[in-house]
């Protein structure tokens, strides 16, 4: 027979100071409750007796559907495999409607805590929301949280995108578009700058400069602020020498033709992306600061989605490095829409920070979507996992705290995408400090949900977070 101290030690992960089911088993709980639980192996616990123990600890009882769902069944249609929860045993499914061990009691509570953090924001809210529902209603609720993997696979392939060579993808960037002008018109600023810079070099006695020298040393004053843009846009010819103005024009025309081809293909791809919005699965958030960034991103993307399991699902993913728009305002609208419609976002950290991809990750987290941060350096990965402010935000609609999964391994990015779409995520609970709950992805050790131990913050947060929604509900009833 287990003693009170032994039971408290075993159930310590479930003890939180913010009330509700989390305050059921504490030092102040009546000894009679521990006496009954300590004898559970010899006398299995029925739903009636569990409810008596809850009421004796000033907690609300639970319905038969709740009891059965969490302690007597391992639902196949739950959003994750409940058999992966610690201590699971098939023997529990054969019990005669009772909880036959402390491990079985812990298993059900563990599931409730995981579900509470995932979908309700805290455990108390989950218990209050579910405890009186029928087992059919509980199952139906969780069914809506799953991805229909087979339906995803049945969709088949989408229309293929227009190919753009890796070495030419930098030409569809906003910097290149501003440099070459729409459709590489003759008045493009890059052409103007190159011709004026060449005239200045020739006048100074240097008739055979490289294009790099033209853009680094002789950019006209009115274009000085855009010098990095022009250097970026002429990357593949920077080290070529120019022998005459006609030679310069010829080199520019060849590069401008590449720009036009790449941009037209990217504009077509954007139309294709817009046509698949209802089936969009993944948004790939990037920041491209150099031509090499475009090459690296192509390799990263190809490696992630080369996974045979992802190929089998025919996943649709939006890659901004293959897309262009009529202007940066339209591009911003398009990318916001893609983030809104995608089911998951992959954030590729790259060498430098970027407002754009940070904003995209923030949008996805605030929409409650799974977000995977890929950082190819372990040290920087720790920063994104433990320090970066975007690693945890709040889903605006529900108030649930949502965290990103951070990894420095491409194979883990593919694995996480598979687990999400196949409903195979594996989590574990921890208390980083007494009463402070964290739900962590087992593959990457990233915190994906949390519940604070601050009682004032908890009460204030939930009292005010849904205030506007409640006021709207009351107003809707009134009118």
Tens digit of each residue's pLDDT (9 = 90 or more) over 187-244: 589 999 999 999 998 888 888 999 999 999 889 999 999 999 999 999 999 999 999 9
User: Region 340-351: what's the mean pLDDT?
Assistant: 91
* Integer Cα distance of 362 and 366 in angstroms: 6
* Integer Cα distance of 45 and 22 in angstroms: 19
Under a CB-based contact definition with an 8 Å cutoff, are residues 436 and 451 in contact?
yes
- Residue 176, judged by CB atoms within 10 A of its CB (0-12, 13-18, 19+), counts as buried
Tens digit of each residue's pLDDT (9 = 90 or more) over 113-129: 999 999 999 999 999 99
Q: In sequence order, what are the beta bridge partners of 392?
A: 403
Residues 6+ apart with CB under 8 A from 33: 25, 53, 56, 57
Q: Looking at the predicted structure, is the pLDDT value of residue 90 above 80?
A: yes
User: Region 406-417: what's the mean pLDDT?
Assistant: 96
* Integer Cα distance of 190 and 178 in angstroms: 9
Q: Looking at the predicted structure, is the pLDDT value of residue 10 above 70?
A: yes
Cα Rg of the chain (Å, integer) = 29
Q: Looking at the predicted structure, is the pLDDT value of residue 472 above 60?
A: no
C-beta atoms surrounding 185 within 10 Å: 10
How confident is the model at residue 96, as a pLDDT? 83
- Model-level pTM greater than 0.95? no
State the maximum Cα–Cα separation within the chain, in Å, rounded to a whole number.
100
User: Region 148-175: what's the mean pLDDT?
Assistant: 94
On average, the pLDDT of the chain sits at 91
pLDDT band (50, 70, 90) for residue 376: confident
Candidates 257, 339, 352; CA nearest to 296 is: 352
Candidates 343, 281, 346; CA nearest to 313 is: 281
Q: Looking at the predicted structure, is the pLDDT value of residue 380 above 90?
A: no
Percentage of residues in the chain having pLDDT higher than 90:
81
Per residue in 66-97, is it b (16+ CB within 10 Å) or e — as a string?
A: bbbbbbbebbeebbbbbeebeebeeebeeeee
How confident is the model at residue 388, as a pLDDT? 65
Q: In sequence order, what are the beta bridge partners of 440?
A: 428, 447
pLDDT band (50, 70, 90) for residue 470: low
How confident is the model at residue 476, as a pLDDT? 56
Instruction: State the distance between the two ends of the chain, measured CA to CA, in whole angstroms.
Output: 60
Under a CB-based contact definition with an 8 Å cutoff, are residues 435 and 17 in contact?
yes
- Residue 287, judged by CB atoms within 10 A of its CB (0-12, 13-18, 19+), counts as buried
**Domain residue spans in the chain?**
4-151, 166-263, 276-422
How confident is the model at residue 25, as a pLDDT? 94
Q: Looking at the predicted structure, is the pLDDT value of residue 184 above 50?
A: no
User: Region 14-22: what's the mean pLDDT?
Assistant: 90
How confident is the model at residue 436, as a pLDDT? 95
DSSP state, 25?
S
Locate 186 and state its tokens: 């003759």
Tens digit of each residue's pLDDT (9 = 90 or more) over 133-146: 999 999 999 999 99
Range of 238-252, 372-386, 387-401 with top mean pLDDT = 238-252
pLDDT band (50, 70, 90) for residue 391: confident
How confident is the model at residue 478, as a pLDDT? 52
Q: In sequence order, what are the beta bridge partners of 318?
A: 283
User: Region 282-288: what's the mean pLDDT?
Assistant: 92
The class of domain 276-422 in CATH terms is alpha beta
User: Region 458-463: what's the mean pLDDT?
Assistant: 90
Under a CB-based contact definition with an 8 Å cutoff, are residues 394 and 362 in contact?
no
């Amino acid at each position: 027979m287990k003693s009170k101290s032994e039971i408290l030690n075993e159930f310590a992960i479930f003890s939180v100071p913010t009330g509700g089911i989390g305050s059921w088993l504490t030092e102040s709980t009546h000894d009679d409750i521990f006496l009954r639980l300590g004898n559970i192996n010899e006398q299995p616990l029925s739903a009636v007796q569990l409810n008596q123990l809850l009421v004796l600890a000033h907690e609300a009882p639970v319905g038969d559907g709740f009891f059965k769902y969490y302690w007597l069944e391992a639902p196949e249609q739950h959003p994750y495999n409940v058999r992966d929860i610690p201590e699971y045993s098939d023997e529990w499914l054969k019990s005669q409607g009772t909880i036959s061990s402390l491990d079985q009691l812990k298993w059900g509570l563990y599931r409730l805590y995981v579900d509470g953090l995932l979908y309700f924001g805290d455990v108390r809210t989950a218990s209050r929301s579910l405890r009186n529902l029928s087992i059919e209603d509980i199952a139906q609720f969780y069914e809506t949280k799953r991805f229909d993997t087979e339906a995803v696979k049945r969709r088949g392939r989408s229309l293929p995108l227009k190919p753009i060579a890796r070495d030419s993808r930098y030409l569809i960037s906003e910097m290149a578009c501003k440099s070459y002008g729409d459709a590489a018109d003759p008045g493009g600023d890059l052409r103007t700058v190159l011709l004026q810079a060449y005239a200045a070099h020739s006048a100074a006695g240097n008739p055979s400069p490289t294009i790099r020298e033209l853009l680094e040393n002789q950019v006209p004053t009115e274009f000085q602020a855009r010098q990095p843009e022009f250097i970026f846009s002429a990357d593949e010819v920077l080290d070529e020498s120019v022998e005459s103005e006609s030679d310069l024009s010829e080199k520019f025309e060849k590069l401008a033709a590449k720009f036009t081809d790449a941009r037209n293909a990217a504009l077509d791809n954007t139309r294709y992306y817009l046509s698949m919005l209802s089936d969009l699965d993944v948004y790939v958030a990037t920041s491209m600061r150099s031509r090499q960034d475009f090459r690296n991103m192509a390799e990263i993307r190809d490696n992630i989605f080369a996974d045979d399991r992802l190929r089998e699902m025919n996943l649709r993913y939006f890659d901004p490095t293959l897309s262009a728009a009529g202007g940066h305002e339209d591009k911003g609208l398009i990318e916001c829409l893609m983030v809104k419609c995608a089911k998951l976002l992959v954030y590729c950290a790259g060498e430098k920070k970027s407002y754009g991809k940070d904003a995209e990750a923030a949008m996805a987290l605030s929409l409650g979507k799974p977000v995977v941060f890929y950082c190819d350096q372990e040290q920087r990965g720790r920063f994104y996992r433990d320090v970066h402010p975007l690693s945890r935000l709040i889903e605006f609609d529900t108030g649930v705290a949502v965290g990103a999964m951070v990894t420095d391994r491409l194979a883990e990015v593919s694995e996480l995408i598979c687990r999400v779409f196949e409903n195979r995520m594996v989590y574990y609970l921890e208390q980083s400090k007494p009463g402070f709950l964290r739900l962590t992805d087992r593959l990457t050790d990233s915190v994906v949900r949390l519940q604070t131990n601050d009682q004032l913050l908890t009460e204030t947060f939930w009292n005010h977070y849904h205030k506007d929604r409640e006021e709207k509900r009351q107003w809707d009833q009134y009118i």
